Amino acid sequence: MQSNCPECDAVITLEDGTEVNEILVCPDCSSELEVTALEPPALAPAPMEEEDWGE
């Protein structure tokens, strides 16, 4: 399966066993991407992790 990076439009091949919500890194622009769908494959910029200040 293949999809395009939403940041730089590079073609990214999704390996067998890739799951929805998995985080991938674009080999061209190094953006962190989240797999949002598998049929058809879709990628979106990964959500930024928020700090957990022990609350």
CATH of the domain at 14: 2.20.28.160
Sign of the dihedral through C-alpha 49, 10, 24, 3: positive
Task: Give which of 25, 20, 24 is closest to 41, Cα–Cα.
Answer: 20
Range of 33's domain?
A: 2-45
At residue 46 the predicted structure's pLDDT band, cuts being 50, 70 and 90, is very high
- Omega within 30 of 0 (cis) for the link into 27: no
pTM value? Answer: 0.82
pLDDT at 54 exceeding the cut of 70: no
What total of structural domains would you count in the chain? 1
Token pair recorded at residue 17 = 């066993």
Contact of 20 with 7, CB cutoff 8 Å = no
User: What per-residue confidence (pLDDT) applies to 48?
Assistant: 82
At residue 39 the predicted structure's pLDDT band, cuts being 50, 70 and 90, is very high
For residue 55, tell me if it sits in a domain. no
Beta bridge partner(s), residue 44: 34
